[in-house]
């Protein structure tokens, strides 16, 4: 019998529907992989094998009655622990939310359960999604299933969706939810040889997603390939009146309309992304990507995104500013941790609770955000950053007058070792140099695994599209995928 | 612009995060490193640029002015609201005494 954990979303959905295997068999196989890998990879904060089984039983029962199984019928998934799940601990990988059991379900997770998916567990992440290596989680690092050839050094699975990327790469889940604020879906996907798409801002409801930077946060799927991402994104997306920024637009049939034929399409190559001192392997991969897209029928042109170099500093004003505001809600009163020193008053309790409950990176960002929003500095930092954000967005609008999608690397390097960047916040931030601009402009963008480094580590290529044109992004991603033929997977050591 | 220990202590107080002297000392160079780096934004000419307010053009919606339009976010949820409170007493959130 085939190893069911080698199957992706489409194969599981179709196989369950055809009766090749049952949803319960699939859930049991993934539950076993989750349990076996937990100690070594630490991808999950909480495993929920019984929930995966219950959903699978429901799917099998529907099939017996001849009912529709849904877009994700019989597919067990991992849920990033940033999504509120009813009565299942939701922590954002923080101490301050340890033990928090929401009495409601996030819109995105509910959409997935309505589509027939089941939950394998809550996936580890960088604390409050702040990080690029999954080293800021209160519940410990996630270890990438990938290793450099001939080395046992522990590598970063990327962040903040590091549990998601590690779980999909290690076959602990056929797919997982991620969220992307400055690259937190695309960078971990690139580091682990998986595929992930951040849709247009507003496609997926933010209701019930622990907020980091609300004008940037956007959920999306992480899976093995483009088709699986298309299927899962259809299930996740949709208008939600409970989110004021939710897009009131129909969800297209992305899967049905997938096409790797790029005839008549124009691909832009942003010259500002070709930076001094760039990794030669990344440059070569990018050139290879250009050749692949030409082979798929696309015309390739040079474009300019002149404000690219300002994207990261813009992001590191706006995101901390919004975070400092969003995280003001953690006060030790309504939910989560409370630290009440002997004789403390209310103000002391707030300060003690937040000191005990937030990790170093979270505190750092709250302080930066508080500073740039404070009287006297607001215009110089925050207003200026919002103006530069307008210019960055206009750069993309101008570029898209000439091209349909943009091709760029996802990350400047392959996965780095755990511990390599933790002492220098700035060097960690620079990891997001290629992913942050699309986030600031709210554009759909995906990472597709496209090759291996000389050390045998995955490398990703990024496609950025026009607002609302997830189809164009997915199609270009599919064209890359078909030519890259990326079949490498981490050798099992866990 | 750069921050000193007193400024960081002030920011931490505004953010309601208790910090020790040692933490303050460590944070000053870290925050200055980040602030000096973001200051390059000052070189961008933004004299005729509007600050971004919505990344995707969007008009704010109004909902029907009815009670419990969406039961999930409507009223009558006291038990659920208090379910995760560190201290809940008599149907309220419990906090240290705030009035002398």
A397 touches chain B (CB under 8 A): no
Q: What are the angstrom distances between the C-alpha of B67 and each of A240, B73, B78, B79?
A: 18, 10, 16, 19
Q: Identify the active-site residue in A106, A109, A165, A184.
A: A184
* Residue A422 pLDDT class (50, 70, 90 cuts): confident
Q: Identify the active-site residue in A62, A71, A80, A466.
A: A80
- Residue A217 has a CB neighbour count (10 Å cut-off) of 26
Q: Which of B52, B60, B78 to mutate to test the interface with A (most CBs of A within 10 A)?
A: B52
**pLDDT digit string (tens) for A449-490?**
999 999 999 999 999 999 999 999 999 999 999 999 999 999
**pLDDT digit string (tens) for A320-378?**
999 999 999 999 999 999 999 999 999 999 999 999 999 999 999 999 999 999 989 99
Q: Which residues of B touch A367 (CB under 8 A)?
A: 8, 11-12, 15, 17, 27, 31
> Please, are residues A340 and A333 in contact by the beta-carbon 8 Å criterion?
no
* Residue B75 pLDDT class (50, 70, 90 cuts): confident
Record the tokens describing residue A222, joined without a space: 């992480």
Q: What are the angstrom distances between the C-alpha of A403 and each of A304, A410, A465?
A: 11, 19, 9
Number of H helices, E strands in chain A: 16, 11
A422 touches chain B (CB under 8 A): no
**Dist CA A421 CA A32 (whole Å):** 33
Active site residue A80: yes
Residue with tokens 């039961």: B71
Distance from CA of A355 to the nearest CA of B (A): 5
> Please, are residues A159 and A200 in contact by the beta-carbon 8 Å criterion?
no
Per DSSP, the three-state class of A139 is: coil
pLDDT score for B1? 66
Contacts of A460 (CB under 8 A, 6+ apart): A186, A189, A190, A191, A409, A410, A411, A447, A448, A449, A450
* Residue B17 pLDDT class (50, 70, 90 cuts): very high
Per DSSP, the three-state class of A453 is: coil
- Residue A359 has a CB neighbour count (10 Å cut-off) of 20
Q: What are the angstrom distances between the C-alpha of A112 and each of A25, A105, A184, A443?
A: 20, 11, 20, 23
Asked if the Cβ–Cβ distance from B52 to A104 is below 8 Å, we say no
Q: What are the angstrom distances between the C-alpha of A333 and each of A362, B34, B80?
A: 19, 32, 15
| Minimum CA–CA partner of A217 in chain B | B55
Average pLDDT over residues B16-43: 94
| Minimum CA–CA partner of A86 in chain B | B80
Active site residue A144: no
Q: Could you give the ipTM of this predicted complex?
A: 0.95
Q: Which residues of B touch A245 (CB under 8 A)?
A: 54, 56, 58
* Residue B67 pLDDT class (50, 70, 90 cuts): confident
Average pLDDT over residues A82-102: 98
pTM > 0.90: yes or no: yes
Residue A118, pLDDT above cutoff 90: yes
The beta-carbon neighbor of B86 closest among A200, A313, A332 is A332
Q: Which residues of B touch A335 (CB under 8 A)?
A: 84-86
pLDDT score for A258? 98
Least confident of A81-85, A255-259, A291-295, B54-58: B54-58
**Dist CA A377 CA B16 (whole Å):** 19
A467 touches chain B (CB under 8 A): yes
**pLDDT digit string (tens) for A385-417?**
999 999 999 999 999 999 999 999 999 999 999
Q: Which domains does chain B have, with CATH numbers?
A: 5-41 (1.10.20)
């Amino acid at each position: 019998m085939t190893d069911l954990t080698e199957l992706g979303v489409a194969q599981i959905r179709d196989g369950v529907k055809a009766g090749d295997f049952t949803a319960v068999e699939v859930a049991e196989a993934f539950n076993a992989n989750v349990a076996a890998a937990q100690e070594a990879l630490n991808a999950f904060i909480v495993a929920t094998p019984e929930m995966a089984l219950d959903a699978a039983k429901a799917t099998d029962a529907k099939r017996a009655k001849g009912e529709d199984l849904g877009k994700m019928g019989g597919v067990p998934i991992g849920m990033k622990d940033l999504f509120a799940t009813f009565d299942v601990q939701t922590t954002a990988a923080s101490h301050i939310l340890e033990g928090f059991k929401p009495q409601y379900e996030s819109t995105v997770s509910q959409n997935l359960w309505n589509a027939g998916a089941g939950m394998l567990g809550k996936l580890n992440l960088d604390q409050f999604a702040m990080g690029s290596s999954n080293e800021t989680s209160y519940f410990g690092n996630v270890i990438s299933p990938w290793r450099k050839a001939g080395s046992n050094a522990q590598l970063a699975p990327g962040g903040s969706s590091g549990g998601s990327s590690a779980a999909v790469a290690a076959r602990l889940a056929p797919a997982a939810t991620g969220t992307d604020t400055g690259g937190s879906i695309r960078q971990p996907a690139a580091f682990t040889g998986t595929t992930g798409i951040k849709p247009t801002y507003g496609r997926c409801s933010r209701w019930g997603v622990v907020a980091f930077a609300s004008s940037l946060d956007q959920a999306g799927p992480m899976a093995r390939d483009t088709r699986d991402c298309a299927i899962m994104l259809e299930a996740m997306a949709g208008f939600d009146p409970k989110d004021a920024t939710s897009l009131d637009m129909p969800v297209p049939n992305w899967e049905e309309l997938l096409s790797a034929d790029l005839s008549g399409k124009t691909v832009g190559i942003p010259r500002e992304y070709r930076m001094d001192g760039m990794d030669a392997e990344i440059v070569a991969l990018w050139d290879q990507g250009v050749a692949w897209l030409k082979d798929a029928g696309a015309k390739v042109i040079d474009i300019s995104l002149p404000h690219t170099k300002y994207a990261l500093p813009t992001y590191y004003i706006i995101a901390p500013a919004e975070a400092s505001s969003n995280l003001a809600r953690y006060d030790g009163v309504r939910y989560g941790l409370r630290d009440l020193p002997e004789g403390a008053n209310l103000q002391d309790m707030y300060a003690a609770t937040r000191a005990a409950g937030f990790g170093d990176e979270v505190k750092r960002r709250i302080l930066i955000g508080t500073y740039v929003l404070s009287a006297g500095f607001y215009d110089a930092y925050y207003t200026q950053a919002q103006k530069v954000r307008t210019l960055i967005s206009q750069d993309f609008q101008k570029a898209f007058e000439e091209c349909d999608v943009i091709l760029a690397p996802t990350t400047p390097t392959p996965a780095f070792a755990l511990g390599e960047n933790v002492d220098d916040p700035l060097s960690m931030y620079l990891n997001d140099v290629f992913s942050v601009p699309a986030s600031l402009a709210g554009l759909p963008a995906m990472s597709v695994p496209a090759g291996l480094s000389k050390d045998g580590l995955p490398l990703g290529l990024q496609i950025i599209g026009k607002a609302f044109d997830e189809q164009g992004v997915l199609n270009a991603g599919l064209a890359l995928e078909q030519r890259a033929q990326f079949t490498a997977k981490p050798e099992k050591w866990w | 612009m750069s921050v000193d220990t007193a400024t960081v202590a002030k920011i931490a107080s505004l953010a309601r995060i208790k910090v020790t002297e040692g933490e303050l000392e460590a944070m000053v160079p870290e925050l200055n490193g980040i602030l000096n780096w973001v200051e390059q934004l000052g070189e961008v000419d933004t004299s005729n640029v509007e600050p971004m307010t919505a990344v995707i053009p969007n008009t704010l919606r109004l909902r029907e002015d009815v009670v419990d339009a969406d039961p999930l976010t409507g009223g009558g949820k006291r038990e659920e609201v208090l379910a995760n409170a560190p201290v809940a007493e008599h149907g309220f959130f419990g906090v240290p005494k705030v009035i002398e």
